[in-house]
Structures are given as C-alpha cells and as structure tokens.
Structure 1
Amino acid sequence: MLSTAGSPGSPQRHRPGTPRPVAVLLPGQGSQHVRMAAGLYRVDPVFTAAMDEVLDAMAAEGAPELRAEWLAERPTVSIDHVSRAQPLLYAVDYALGTLVLGWGVRPVALLGHSVGEVAAATLTGVFGLRDAVALVLDRVRRLATAPPGGMLAVAATPEQLRPFLTGDVVVGVVNAPRQTVLAGPTAPLAAVAESLRDSNFTCRRVPAESAFHSPALAEAAAGAEEFIASVAVAEPDTTVYSGYTAARLRREDAANPRFWARQPVEAVLFWPALDALLAAEGDVLLLEAGPGQGLATLARRHPAVRTGGSSVLALLPAQPGPPAADRRSVRAAALALRAEGHAVDLAEGL
C-alpha cells in the first residue's frame, strides 16, 4: 500500500531548507479513550471511509457492533476491556495512518506499539485489511478468556525493577530509559506496586484490564499460531521497525505465524526500536498517528530530538476533549507538515 525510496545505509542528516522525511508512530494499549478521534468522523472523508471499512470488516467477521460503542459518550463496555480497546485502537491507528497517506505524505518508516504494529503491517501491505481484522479479532477472542490482570508504569529502569518482580509479574514494555511498564495478574501486580511505592518509586496504572505482554496471557494466546498460518502475508513495502525485535521487520519475521501469535505475550521494546529507527533513518519528523500523545512525549526525550536533528508531531490532542479539539489538532499537524515542506491537501472542515 505504501512505497518509498528509503533503503538501508548511512543515516541522512537534515539539510536546512529541505523537508525531513516522516516516520509514523502508531500507539497501542493504554492510549485508548472514549470517542478517540471521533471528532474526525463524518468530517474528513478519508478518515471516515477508512474507519467504516475497518468497522464493517469487523462486523462481517462476527464482532459486536463497535461503531456505536466507539461514538458513545458512555459505552456499554469499558473502553479498557480487551474486546473494545484492541479492535478500536487498531481501527483508529489504521484510519489515521490512511489519513496521512491521503495527504500525500509517504513515510520512510513506521513503528507500531503493541497492536499498533498490526496497523503498521496493514498500512505497509504485510496483511490485507480483511486478514488483519481477522487476526485482531481472533487475538481479542482468545485474550478475553485470560485471567484478570493489568499493567503498571514505573519511573525506573528494568534493572532497578528486577529485585521487585515476583510471581508472574514481568517487564512488559520498555518505553524509555526510565519508563518501564510491568505486567501481570491482578493480585501479584498489586503486591509489587505496593512494594515499589514503599520504596519510593513512582507508579501509575496503565488503562488495561489484561496483563498484556506477559506470560499470564500465554495460555489464552495458545492456538493463534495455527490461525495466523492461514492468513496471507507479504513483505512490507515500506520499512517497519518492530517493537518486538527492536529492529527492521524482516521478511522471515513477517512470514512467521509465531512472530504475530506471540506478540500479546512478548515484551514491547519501544525505546530500543525508536533508537534503531533514528540511528538508521537519520533526521526525521516523527508523527504520532493515534489517540493521545504518549509516543510523541516519549520520542521528545530521545537525544536525536533534543538536539534538534529530528522533531515530533502528534495528530491528536494529548488529552480527550470535544470533537473540535480533534479537528484543531489535526489541522495544526497538517500545517506543521506544510511548514516543513510537505505538500498536504486538507479536507474541507479541518
């Protein structure tokens, strides 16, 4: 679906007066909120068509009606439940990525966080949309049977946290040098959180009702490999950096059903993957295409951004707000891309 002239080699430094290439960041579990990106629906035709395409495909695969749930101020099922967060995050990431492509922007690379990696794979042609939707829904149905669990963001390095890890609690996500997310079943995770707070670590629960990226989901995820083996897979037509290998998504990874089946269980290495992207691609404009600005906030801490070589934009507001806030934020991002030198064709109403 995408194409780019980018290829491995020496990283490119930004030359003043020329636009930096765009690398798209696609967030995952924890970034979801009620009516995320809904302010763009029925306003931007590209975003609307992409959302409708995904939600219609999900309905055809037997998923519950998600459009009304997504647009509701008070949905009947918590947005943090796996049956809502995962499919709607995928849909919003995919639709926002499609919106950026509709502007005429051709990214040099994409980096997805958790389910955002499936969206990145769809946007780059690894999966067809219907197959990706089937993969996401199969994952959701399996994970819905997992025991209750959660995730805990801690201001510490993985090494600092290892003495506190007991039972089934593990490092689930490495977001930044001192931002680590733990994952595990409810009771053990609560005990670890109490110990960490007693030791003066700053902790915050991540909006999740499952222990994503931990062995607690291994039993529920079993069998996914056989299902994914039936899905058609192609090599990405644009570079994808994987949060599971912290490197470029290789042909053999993309074609390996186990690679995709194990993602809910394996740790997300976002910061090492971002580091690899910036080291290989050089000076870029990192554009977060998803709800919130969690990945943009993390990316702004990277030395390549702090020194001014690379920069960061986010399509949507940092916090949930009224529909007009979504539109203002997208318009501001589009104007920033224009100022950078990218030709962006905005829809009327934005």
Structure 2
Amino acid sequence: MSAGEPALVFEGQGGDAESVPRALGRDCPVCGDVVEEADAALGFPLSKIIFQGSPDELRRTAVAQPALVTIEVAHARHLLDMGVRPSALAGHSIGQYAALVVAGALDFRDAVRLAAHRGELMQSAVPDGEGAMVAISGLELSDVLDACRDGRPAGVVGVACDNAPGRTVVSGAADAVSAAVAACKDKGAISVELPVSVPFHCDLLTGVKDAFATALRQVTFRTPRIAVIDNVTARPLTAEDDIRSLLAEHIVARVRFRESMQRIAASGVGEVVQCGPGRSLIKMVGKAAPGVSAVTFDRYARQRDARFAGGH
C-alpha cells in the first residue's frame, strides 16, 4: 500500500435506499455507461428500478446488491479517469465486489451477476419477518459478543459487523436478536434496527454459502493489482488466497471493517474516499481510524477538479 493517494472504500447494504438514485448524479459522468453495462449483464433493467422504483423495491436484496456494485464501480472509474491511483481498496460487505472489480481481480459483468444471484439466494433463505439486523452503539465488541451468547437460547444470533470502536451490528433470528439487543441495552447501549430484508453475515445463511460456492466456481478471478483488504481476514488479498472460498465464507462471516481501516491507517494512508450512496462509512472510518480523513465521492471529485483547475 502507498500513502501517496487515497484509499477507496465501498458501501454495503443497509443504508438509505432513497440515496441510491441520487448517487448517480452530475458528479459522475461515467455512471450512465456503467449502468447500461449492468443492464446488459443482468438481462433486466436495473437502471429502471434505480430511477423509477420505490424505496421498498430498492431495499430488496436481489436489487440492492447489484445496484450498489454498479454505483460504486462507476464512482471508482470516474476517479480513475481523473488520475486517482488508489493506495488501497476495501469494501463493506457487498462493497467487496466493487473493490475486486476496481483491483482488476473480477470482471464487472461477472460481479453484478454474482451480486444479483447472491441477493436472490439470501432473499429466499429467510422468510420476511423471521430475521433482523440491529446496529448497536456504545458497547465494545466483547460486550456485544457476550450479549449475543445470552440471546442464543432463542435462536441464531451473532455479530455481523465490527464497524468501529463502540459500533457493531447484530444479526440473526428475530427473537434471538431481540434478546441480544435487550442485553445490550441493559449495559447502556443504543440500538437502531436496520432497514434490510435479510439478516446478513450470520449462520442462518449457511445454506446460501454452500449454494453460492457453486456459482463462484464458474467465474474467473485474478490476483488484485491494487491491495484489497479482505472483509473476512482484514488483511490484503494475495496471489495465494483462494478468493472464491473467502467470498463464500463472507456470506456468514463477520465484516471486520474496524480492523480493515486500522490496517489502512497503519500503512500511512491519510485519506479515504467513500464510493457509493450515503455517507455511513465516513462515520465508521472516523471512529476506527481517527488519524485518517474521510470524504464522500462527490465532494472529493469536486475538490480534485478545483485543485487541477487552479493549477495545483
């Protein structure tokens, strides 16, 4: 990893669905071409759902996941066209697929097809209302792990995301998540239920992991040309890593975003640009790596344009 240019981080599912069409705005002149490429790869009009669909449609995992990969790759391609040479890449959950595309490890068309298939498998794995994901603030990871153990008599529950110090997400069967959240609140935590249709990164998706492994075997992966910090291991992927097995495990494994950002910070990188809609990763980066500045794609693109226009 090089400290000279920013790292790019790619958003995961769980944010505000209404921000998705806004992310394909005037600050991304290549977005239209990338969306057309996604439509052709998928064989259905993802673009129509993005721009004309309801927020509920955009929250559906089978739509949200390829939509996020599309937007994030478009943002990154625009930055590359501007001359940005990312020092490192990291994705949050589905954002890992965008990171692999930008690193040259995975073709974009394969990535959106995998994202859509992954979303369909996840959507069918847990009936509506039987799962839940809840963000927990104010407790360290060890305390949340203890609370999840308290909730397990009611069903599957675990920590799906370790986002930053004092910022985690629990996921699993609805009753078990409720019990774990109650235990967290007893310790003073604040909780917010996430607007997702599937409980990600938990053992309820074990069957999905096995089915998705079959799809991954049909796709070509290459050694990343830019360092990609893996969600499962929180370290850079290398030629020796089996990306297929890591992406299958990724479905049930905890997202280790806090450790990923700390690794990027330790390498000397001083700036992170979030690609994708919303700004939830900005807050996570600020807490996980306080010495690293974090900025959204649109702001960074405008700032870089202004610097070059001014001759700097």
TM (norm. structure 1) is 0.79
For residue 28 of structure 1, report the CA deviation from its aligned partner: 0.4
The structure 1 residue matched to 2:252, chosen from 254, 265, 269, is 265
Where structure 1 has 5 or more consecutive residues not aligned to the other structure, the ranges are: 1-5, 13-19, 316-329, 346-350
The reply on whether 1:247 has 2:235 as its aligned counterpart is yes
Q: Does 1:181 align with 2:169?
A: yes
Displaced runs of 4+ in structure 1, greater than 6 A?
none
Shift of 1:139: 1.1
1:71 to 51, 56, 77: 51
Name which of structure 1's ranges 125-134 and 186-195 shifts more when overlaid on structure 2. Answer: 186-195
Report the counterpart of residue 326 of structure 1 in structure 2: none
Residue 149, structure 1, aligned to residue 121, structure 2:
no
Cα distance change on mapping 1:32 and 1:51 into 2, 3 Å: farther
Q: Confirm whether residue 311 of structure 1 aligns to residue 293 of structure 2.
A: yes
CA distance in 2, matches of 1:334, 1:42: 11
Identity across matched positions, percent: 26
Counterparts of 2:309 and 2:74 in 1: how far apart (Å)?
Answer: 17
Change (3 A) 1:274 1:344: farther
Counterpart check, 1:285 vs 2:271 = yes
What TM-score comes out, normalization by structure 2 length?
0.88
| Distance change in 2, residues 1:287/1:344 (3 Å) | farther
Q: Distance in 2 between matches of 1:179 and 1:41?
A: 30
Residues 35 and 71 in structure 1, CA contact (< 8 A), matched pair in contact too: no
From 135, 140, 161, the counterpart of 2:114:
135
* 1:82 paired residue number: 61
Alignment partner of 1:215 is 2:224: no
Q: May I ask how many residue pairs the two structures share in their alignment?
A: 301
How far apart in 1 are the matches of 2:53 and 2:119?
Answer: 23
Question: Is contact 2:104-2:225 (8 Å) kept?
Answer: yes
**Is the 8 Å Cα contact of residues 66 and 113 (structure 2) preserved in structure 1?**
no
Task: Map 1:1-350 onto structure 2 (within 5 A).
Answer: 6=1, 20-34=4-18, 36-38=20-22, 40-41=24-25, 44-59=28-43, 64-72=44-52, 74=54, 77-147=56-126, 148-155=130-137, 156-165=139-148, 166-167=151-152, 168-253=156-241, 255-280=242-267, 282-305=268-291, 310-315=292-297, 330=298, 332-337=299-304, 343=308
Give, in angstroms, the shift of residue 80 of structure 1: 2.2
Distance 1:261 1:43 in 2: 34
Query: Is 44-53 or 112-121 further displaced after alignment?
Result: 44-53
Structure with the larger helix share: 2
